[in-house]
Structure 1
C-alpha cells in the first residue's frame, strides 16, 4: 500500500499613463538619472474601459454593473471577482471612485484593470545566449554555490512538490527540464493559441522597438526553479505575452488554476507599480490552501518593491550577485524578505540552449525551488512558517550596514533551510488526486519505517497538554520512506474531510511491544493492542 509524498491578442486597446505612485517617486528617479543609471520604466498600462471589482457575498454582479452603466464580461465567481466593461467614453477613474464610495455596500473594492510586466521588460534587458554552456555548467553554476544548494540536493530535490510558474510561455522540450514540466496540466490564460509553449508573433505589440523580447523569459524562470529543485514538478501557466505584459485578471486566474492543479508554491516573476486588491484576494485564497507565493522585488533600483512583492503575504525576493553584494538594478525596501542570486544566472533557453540574464525574476524562482526542497521534507508547513524559516536561516550578505533594513534577513541558504527544523518532527499534508487521497509526510531522522493511522475525526481528542487520544483507528503498517516518495494516490484512503491521519515513527519491531516515537505535531503516543483495527 503506497502512501505517497505529495503533500492575445488584446480585445481592448491599452493606454500608458503615469501613475500617482510613479509621480511620488519622481525625486528618486532624478537622482538615479544624474548618477548615470538606467531610468526605470514607470508607465502604467491599463486595459481600456475595464474595471476589476470584488463583491460581497450575495451581491448580484449584473445588477451592480448595471447601476454604473457597465457590463459583466468575465469573472471568478467563487472568489466574487469580476471584470466590468465601462460604457464607451466613460471616465474609468471616476467610476472607480464612485464604486469605492462607502455608500456602495455591494462592492468590497474596485480598481482599473491594470497590466503586469516582467521586471526585465521594464529594464529593457534580454537574455544573452551562451553557446558554450552545458548542462553541467547549469547544474553547477556559482549561484547555486552561493546559496549552498548543492549539498542540500544530495538529500532533497523537491520531489513530490509542485511549483507553478506564472509567466510567459516556456519551452517544454528542453532536456534539462522537460521531464519535470506538467505539460498537460498547465494553461494558456493570455489569449494565445492555447499552448503553454513560447508564442512569438513577430509584432512589436508594446511599441518599445523590440519584438518578442520576453519570449523565453518563462523558460529561464522555469530553469531556475529546476536548478534549485531538480526533482520538483513545474506547472506552466502562461499569463504574459511574448513582450512580457499580462492583464491582472489573467494573473488572478493563473493563481486559481495553480491551486486547482495542486501547486504547493507559486512563483510570480512579474510586477506593477500599483497595489491590486483584486490580486491580493487571489493571493489570500492561495494562502488559505497552504500555497506559498514567491514574488520578484523588481528591477527599478528604488526603495519600493513592485507589487505583489510589497505584499506582506508573499515571500519577497531581491537580487544579489554571487559575492552576495546587492545587484545594482534590484528594488529594495523594508518589505523584502531575503535576497538570492540574480546576476548573470545561467538558465534554460530555447529548445536545448542556455542563456545568462540579470534580474530579480531569477532570484525569485531560485527561492521558490528552495521552498520546494523544504516542503519535500516538511510538507505540512504553512506559508507563514515557510517565510519565517527562510528569514531565520538566511546567511549574512556582503552589503554595508546602510542596507541592513532594506534587503531582508540576508541571502538564501538552502542547506540551512532544509536542516533547520528538528529531526524528531514530522508533518502531514493531504491532497486529492484522480485516483484517491495522497498522504505526504516528512521523514524523521534515523527512521526508515512508519505506521500511518486513520480514523474518524469525531473520535479525535486531546488528553492533557501533550498527548492525543486517537480513538478507534485503522493502522497501515510498515510504510518506508522509499514508498512514501512515489506520489501514487491510494484509492482506499478516504477524503481529507472524512478522516484524520496520524504518522508514527516505528522505533521498534511490531513484535517488540508496540512502541512508537514522536508523532505529528510532536505529541507523544504509545499504541496499545486495542488501538488498531486490524491489531498490529
Structure 2
C-alpha cells in the first residue's frame, strides 16, 4: 500500500520575529579558477620540459613579462597539479588561473545569513516579517568555499515538487526534468521544489535574486511529489533511479515519511552503491521520532538551526540517527513566478522569499557535498560524506545530543 509522503516544509511559519528594519549590508563576490589550465613559474627553465613531462603535461605559452607559463591540464585536476608542481624545487610557484569578475552582488544576498552571517537583521520580500540579528559566523562559510570552487557543473538531483520553469535565477541551471508524481504536469505549482533548488544552485553575482550554496552546480529536476506536496515511496524510488542514471553526484530529498519502506531503502542503497551522496531532511516533528528516508544508514539526515546556531524549535533531532545540522530558519531562496500553493497558504512572494524547515537545511548540506565533490574530484561518495561530516562545526548544545556531528561548514569541506 502506498504511504503518504509528508513534504517537510510543514513548519514553514515557525520561528518568525517582530518587524524591524534591516541594516545595509555588503557581500563578497565569489571567485573560481579556470578549468583546464594553471600558471607555473620555473626557477630553472632548463628543467621545465622534464618536470612537466613527469606529470604528463606539455609546455605552454609565457604570460607576458611575468615569467609564468600557461599550462593546459585535465579539467578537475587543477588543484592537485598545482600542489604537486609547487613541491618541486625547480618550480618557483604554481597556482590556479583565477577568475576575476566585476564587483556585483545578488539583490537579497545580504539577507542570506546561512551563507555569510554578520549578525544582520533583515525582512522578507514584502517587509511583513523581520528576522532579528543573529550570531556572527553562525553560517556555513560559503564565501570562503567559493574561493576554491563554486561547483564546476556538479549534478545535484532535487527530488521534490518540481522546479519552476519561469524563475531566471534557477531555471537555466536545470539540465534535465522528469515527472514521477501523480500530477500530470511537471511544473512546480506547490513552490517547495523551486525553493529547495534555489538554495542549492541559484545563479550568483547576477545582481538579482539570491545565490545558491553551489552556484556552479547543475540541477536535475525529478518531480516526485504532486501539486499538493505529497507522493509515494514508489515515486521517490523511481526518482532516485532516474537521478543516478542522469549522473547525479548528490541527491537531495527535502521530504519524509513516518514509516519505512523497503522499496525506498533499496533504491537508496542502490544509489549509494553506484556512487551518489544522498541527503534528506530529518523532519519537522520537534521530536526524536525517525523520519524516512533520512533515517536510512546511507543517507545524511539533516536537522535545522537558526541564525544563532541554535536548534530550530520545529526540527526533528537525535544524535543516534540525525547526522548534521544546517541553517533552516528564514532561508531566502527562489519561488515560482506563477501562482503556487505555498504562496497562497503562507503569503510567500513570487520570485524570492523566505521559508523555514529542515527542507531548507537539507539542500544546504547537499550543496556542501557538491562543493566537496568539485574540490576533490577523485573522491568517493563515502569520502565526500566523511568530509562533510568531519568538517562540520561542533556546536553546543547540539553536537552529540541533537545530531552526531555539527553544523556543516562548506569552507572547511572544500579544503
Q: TM-score range by the shorter chain?
A: 0.5 to 0.7
Q: Scaled by the length of structure 2, what TM-score is found?
A: 0.65
Q: Is 2:404 the counterpart of 1:408?
A: yes
Q: Provide the residue aligned with 2:100 in structure 1.
A: none
Q: Is 2:209 the counterpart of 1:224?
A: no
Post-superposition CA distance 1:472-510 (Å, at most 9, x none): xxxxxxxxxxxxxxxxxxxxxxxxxxxxxxxxxxxxxxx
Distance 1:364 1:162, change over 3 A: same
Correspondent of 2:355 among 354, 357, 368:
357
Correspondent of 1:188 among 179, 186, 195:
179
Q: How far apart are residue 295 of structure 1 and its match?
A: 0.4
Q: Provide the residue aligned with 2:250 in structure 1.
A: 265
Q: Conserved in 2, the CA contact under 8 Å of 1:163 and 1:232? A: yes
Q: Conserved in 2, the CA contact under 8 Å of 1:162 and 1:232? A: yes
Q: Conserved in 1, the CA contact under 8 Å of 2:148 and 2:414? A: no
Q: Provide the residue aligned with 2:388 in structure 1.
A: 390
Q: Aligned partners of 1:124, 1:225: CA distance in 2, in Å?
A: 18
Q: Conserved in 2, the CA contact under 8 Å of 1:144 and 1:228? A: yes
Q: Is 2:113 the counterpart of 1:142?
A: yes
Q: Aligned partners of 1:305, 1:172: CA distance in 2, in Å?
A: 34
Q: Aligned partners of 1:301, 1:126: CA distance in 2, in Å?
A: 11
Q: Conserved in 1, the CA contact under 8 Å of 2:163 and 2:171? A: no
Q: Is 2:326 the counterpart of 1:340?
A: yes
Q: Is 2:225 the counterpart of 1:250?
A: no
Q: How far apart are residue 294 of structure 1 and its match?
A: 0.3
Q: Aligned partners of 1:409, 1:164: CA distance in 2, in Å?
A: 24
Q: Provide the residue aligned with 2:152 in structure 1.
A: 159
Q: Conserved in 2, the CA contact under 8 Å of 1:126 and 1:357? A: no
Q: How far apart are residue 135 of structure 1 and its match?
A: 3.6
Q: Conserved in 2, the CA contact under 8 Å of 1:324 and 1:399? A: no
Q: Conserved in 2, the CA contact under 8 Å of 1:336 and 1:407? A: yes
Q: How far apart are residue 394 of structure 1 and its match?
A: 0.7
Q: Conserved in 2, the CA contact under 8 Å of 1:304 and 1:310? A: no
Question: How many residue pairs are counted as aligned between the two chains?
Answer: 285
Q: How far apart are residue 148 of structure 1 and its match?
A: 0.5
Structure 2 residue runs without a partner (length 5+) = 25-104, 117-138, 202-211, 338-349
Q: Aligned partners of 1:396, 1:377: CA distance in 2, in Å?
A: 22
Q: Scaled by the length of structure 1, what TM-score is found?
A: 0.51
Post-superposition CA distance 1:15-52 (Å, at most 9, x none): xxxxxxxxxxxxxxxxxxxxxxxxxxxxxxxxxxxxxx
Post-superposition CA distance 1:326-354 (Å, at most 9, x none): 00000011111110000000010122621
Correspondent of 2:3 among 69, 89, 114:
114
Q: How far apart are residue 154 of structure 1 and its match?
A: 2.4
Q: How far apart are residue 140 of structure 1 and its match?
A: 6.0
Q: Conserved in 1, the CA contact under 8 Å of 2:12 and 2:355? A: no
Higher relative contact order (CA 8 A, sep 6+): 2
Q: Aligned partners of 1:126, 1:348: CA distance in 2, in Å?
A: 19
Q: Aligned partners of 1:279, 1:272: CA distance in 2, in Å?
A: 11
Distance 1:321 1:398, change over 3 A: farther
Q: How far apart are residue 416 of structure 1 and its match?
A: 0.6
Q: How far apart are residue 391 of structure 1 and its match?
A: 1.7
Q: Provide the residue aligned with 1:379 in structure 2.
A: 377
Distance 1:385 1:241, change over 3 A: same
Question: Higher mean Cα deviation, 132-141 or 324-333?
Answer: 132-141
